[in-house]
Structures are given as structure tokens and as C-alpha cells.
Amino acid sequence: MLSLQFHGAAQTVTGSCIEAGWAGRRILLDCGLVQGVRNEAAAGLKRPFPFDPAGVDAVVLSHAHLDHSGNIPALVRQGFRGPIYTTLPTRDLCYTMFHDTAHLQTDDVRLVKFMHFFESLPRLQQSCDDAYLERAIQSFTAAGFAEAAALETGDDKLARFLRFLEALPPLDPPYDEGDVDRAMELFRAVEYAETVPLAPGLDVTLNDAGHILGSASICLDYTREGEPRRLLFTGDLGQGKMPLLRDPVPVADVNVLVTESTYGNHRHSRKGTIVGRLAEHLRHAKRNKSKIIIPAFSVGRTQQLLYYFNKAFAKHEKLKVPVIVDSPMARSATQAYEIHRNFLKKHMQRQMLAGRTPFVFPKLRYIFDHRESAYFRMRKGPMVVISASGMCQGGRILKHLACAVTNPLNIVLMVEYQAGGTLGRSIAKRETPVQIRGINYPLNAKVHFIEAMSGHADAPRLRAFYERLGGKMDTAFCVHGEPPQCKANAKMLTGLGVPNVHVPVLGQRFENV
């Protein structure tokens, strides 16, 4: 008997995590970070799992985006030791993304400690003289709690300072780089269409989902009352007919569907307008010597943007301006696209084998050093800056936005879905002021959108995909979408004749699916 319990992405778009129970075995389909608050570390939390990680037998991972994969090192930190099945590109991308996230979470903890420290200064001032206080702040700013506590002063003052530090809330990131290394040892690379036994009577097969490099839908084959059954979890489903990635692969004879719903009530604009829209924004930037700031995920969207800017410059020679990719992780991800080009479309493989990569063109520059990043933040346009994260929840994009959003000649170009509670959603709604790293900035810059670049299928493409799954579907679950999108997707599936359609809430469990 197969059971499902939804531990994440239930009527929201982040934190994908589904627990499948089978014959005493527990399998996780994805294990993603919840995004919206900057991250769990920034809140000083190690978010507990609603289950014992040590009791999980295996993880099957759909793709590398952090809202699907980013909690795996925390799972390992808390006791998980089973295999993690996914594609080879996803494994390689996770290595880079997990290490980057561990670093950012450590930075977030440091930031929260700074906040606690300076919020508590009035209390500290009551027990220390000004000279000691100044030395404490200097030491803490340079190094942190332990070094600040080791100041050589009178015993009474040091004792008071130590008591003050001990009273601050304990903070620890959800995982560190050691946890990442331990997690990577558990990954097992699986080919598309390769069937892997998870438990007696339960097999898994991965198929191309067309969302990012190496993304997969997850197919579980099992029996119920002696009859074969098939469950398909879409993961994040690509919209198809994209320039780099192959189209999502439909699976026949699906009985149970667990489907994403990100754009369950939306129709994307046509892809044919992308180059024209970019040219329009480039003309504006060149005419006004201004900047186009693009928040973009390092994996997937950045590579797609480079492809389209390459095309735009080839078609409009006079519009060439510097394109700055300020994300070391984006460069690593782009190299993964080049290494694993056999996962891309055939024509793209041939083009790259011939040395014509879409990810290299004149005036394109990758930034690694923080000093270089600061230089380009201060420089005037025209230029394009592509930086992570795509929802503006961390990374270098925050500093670029802080320097750019007050100028009415600049453009913030949105090419990603912006989840509720994120800075990206605030900018997309044109709220002003916007708060960036605790400081309010008036949003004077223009805000534009190119939805056709989305890596998610819209409602018409979801419907077309569902219609190719065969006529045996009797149950469906709509996840990974906000409530209006999930409900619209559920209504569409009901209209297609699926008798049992559910929009799960967080923690809801379903038996004998």
C-alpha cells in the first residue's frame, strides 16, 4: 500500500518534499528549502523536519533548484544515511549549489548575530565604559563573539561581557560545508528511462522534465490489490519548445499524478517576442546610460538569458553593451551545461561541439571577486547585470538593487516567478519603499517582465501534457503553486475527467493511493 504525505510546497511554491510510504519504507520525493523569509538561518532557526531523518530510506530528487534540493545536507546532518537518486547533471549542480548555500547561511547567521549585538548595545553600555565598549564593537565586527569575549580587560568587565554574550540566543546554520560533503557521498547518478528498485515491489524511473539541465519527473511503479499502478510526480515541468532544453517527456498509463501548479491559471506570452523585448530595453539603457538589473537563478535562467542576449546582439549590432554576470555559481552552472551538453537539444549539442557556444560573446564578463562586483555597482551604464538569487532573497543581487532601484532611468527586469514574502515579489508588485538588507529604498526604477522565459509550463501546456498521460488517471494532487493556481489546475484536471483531485495542505496524508 502506497501512502503520500506532503511536507512542503503545499499551496505554496517552495520547500518541495513529499514522503512516500511503502511496506515500511520511507522515500522522500525532493527535500527542498522553504524560501520567502531570507532563509531559515537568517531567522536563527534550524527548522526541524516533521519526521525522523534517520528513518528515511532514500531520496529521489527531481532537480537541483534549492526549493527542491536545498534541505538535503540538513537531512544528512540530522541522521539520514540512505541513497539519493538523481541524474548526473543534477548531482554536479547540487555540489556547487549546496556549498554556496552553506556559505551564505553562515553569512546570514553572522548578520543576525550583528543585529542581536547592536540591538543589545544599550544594555551593554550600562555595564561597560566607553573605551571598553569601543574595543568590544571593533573586535566583534572584525571576528565575532568568541574573539570579542576574549578581550583582555578587568575581570569584572569581562565577566559582565561574557554574561551578556551568553544571554544572546544561540544561532547555528542549518548545515555547513562538512554536511554538504557528507551528503554528496550519498548521491547515485541515474540515467533517464533507467528503472531502479527502491524496495521490493516499488521501482522508480526518471524522465526528462525540460525545466533545467538534468531535471526529471519521477515515476513510481507499484501494485495495489495485485494490479499494477503508476504514480508520476512532475517535479517542475518545463514549458517545452525552449532553445536549450529538450521537451518534457510524457509517461503513459499514469494512475496517480502529483503535479506542479506554478502557473496553473496563467498563459505565458509568446517566446518570439523575447529578443524584441530585450532589444527595446537595451535601446533604453543605451540612450539613457542606465542599467538593466536582472535577478536570475544561477542555474537555468542565467544560461537562457545569455542565449537570448547573444541572439539580440547578433541581430542588433549597435545595441551591444557590457553584460555582467555577477555570480560565481552561475559560471560553474554554465560550465555544467557545457560539460553535460548531451542533455541539451540535438542542434545545441552540434553547435557546441563546433565551438559555437551560446554562453560566450563579446562584452560578456563573469565576475568572481567582490571588489570587481563593487566596481560595477558604482559604474554608470549602459550595462546589463545578471545576478542571483532570482527571488532577490540573498546573494550579490541585493547590493546591485540597493544601488540601482532609486534611479528612475534604471530597469529591473523580472524573468523569474516571485514567491510571496520575497523581496522579488515586493519589487514585482512595485511596492515602495522596498527593504533591502534592513534599509528602505524608494523604488523609482522601472520594473518590466518577460514571462516567456519561464522554466515552468503555463496552463495550456500543463493541459497538453496531462492529455498525453493516457486515460487511466483516477487521482491527482496539485502542489507547488499558490492557492489560486492550485485550485485552477485542480479544476482543469477535473474537467479532463480525473475523478479524485486534491489540493493538499501542509502535512496532509493520503493512504492507499
227-233 vs 364-366, strand pairing mode = unpaired
Q: Within 10 Å of residue 368's Cβ, how many Cβ atoms? A: 10
Residue 359's closest CA among 290, 278, 283, 300?
300
Which segments of the chain have a pLDDT < 50?
38-45, 141-155
114, 130, 235 from 43: Cα distances, Å: 13, 31, 28
If you count them, how many residues does the chain have? 513
395 alpha carbon, distance to own chain's centre: 12
What is the reported pLDDT for 107? Answer: 62
- Maximum alpha-carbon separation in the chain: 80
Going by the DSSP 8-state scheme, the letter that residue 268 receives in this structure is P
d(CA 423, CA 425): 5
Give yes or no for a contact between 16 and 32, defined as CB atoms under 8 angstroms apart.
yes
Q: Which domains does the chain have, with CATH numbers?
A: 2-98+180-266+455-510 (3.60.15.10), 121-167 (no CATH), 271-453 (3.40.50.10890)
Residues near 482 by beta carbon (within 8 Å), at least 6 away in sequence: 11, 12, 13, 420
Give yes or no for a contact between 94 and 187, defined as CB atoms under 8 angstroms apart.
yes
What is the reported pLDDT for 147? Answer: 44
Give yes or no for a contact between 419 and 480, defined as CB atoms under 8 angstroms apart.
no
Question: Grid coordinates in use for 413?
Answer: 527586469
What is the reported pLDDT for 373? Answer: 93
d(CA 215, CA 30): 12
Q: Within 10 Å of residue 387's Cβ, how many Cβ atoms? A: 28
What is the reported pLDDT for 9? Answer: 95
What is the reported pLDDT for 452? Answer: 86
d(CA 395, CA 392): 8
Q: 389: cis peptide before it, omega within 30°?
A: yes
Helix 130-143 / helix 88-119 crossing angle, nearest 10 deg: 180
d(CA 271, CA 102): 36
25-29 vs 58-60, strand pairing mode = parallel
Give yes or no for a contact between 59 and 34, defined as CB atoms under 8 angstroms apart.
no
d(CA 412, CA 404): 8
Question: Grid coordinates in use for 388?
Answer: 542571483
Give yes or no for a contact between 199 and 22, defined as CB atoms under 8 angstroms apart.
yes
d(CA 134, CA 54): 47
Task: Tell me the three-class secondary structure of 52-121, residue by residue.
Answer: CHHHCCEEECCCCCHHHHCCHHHHHHCCCCCCEEECHHHHHHHHHHHHHHHHHHHHHHHHHHHHHHHHCH
Task: Locate all alpha helices (DSSP H) within 217-323, ordered by sequence.
Answer: 274-288, 301-315
Question: Grid coordinates in use for 141?
Answer: 565586527
What residue type is 337 in one-letter code? Y
What CA dihedral angle connects 194, 195, 196 and 201, to 10 degrees?
180
| Residues 145-158 as b or e (16 or more Cβ within 10 Å = b) | beebbeeebeeebb
Question: Grid coordinates in use for 9?
Answer: 510546497
Question: Tens digit of pLDDT for each residue in 371-385?
Answer: 999 999 999 999 999
Question: Grid coordinates in use for 506?
Answer: 501542509
d(CA 86, CA 215): 9
What residue type is 210 in one-letter code? G
What CA dihedral angle connects 128, 134, 136 and 142, to 10 degrees?
170
Residues near 410 by beta carbon (within 8 Å), at least 6 away in sequence: 290, 291, 292, 293, 381, 404, 445, 446
Burial of 216 (0-12, 13-18, 19+ CB in 10 A): buried
d(CA 188, CA 60): 10
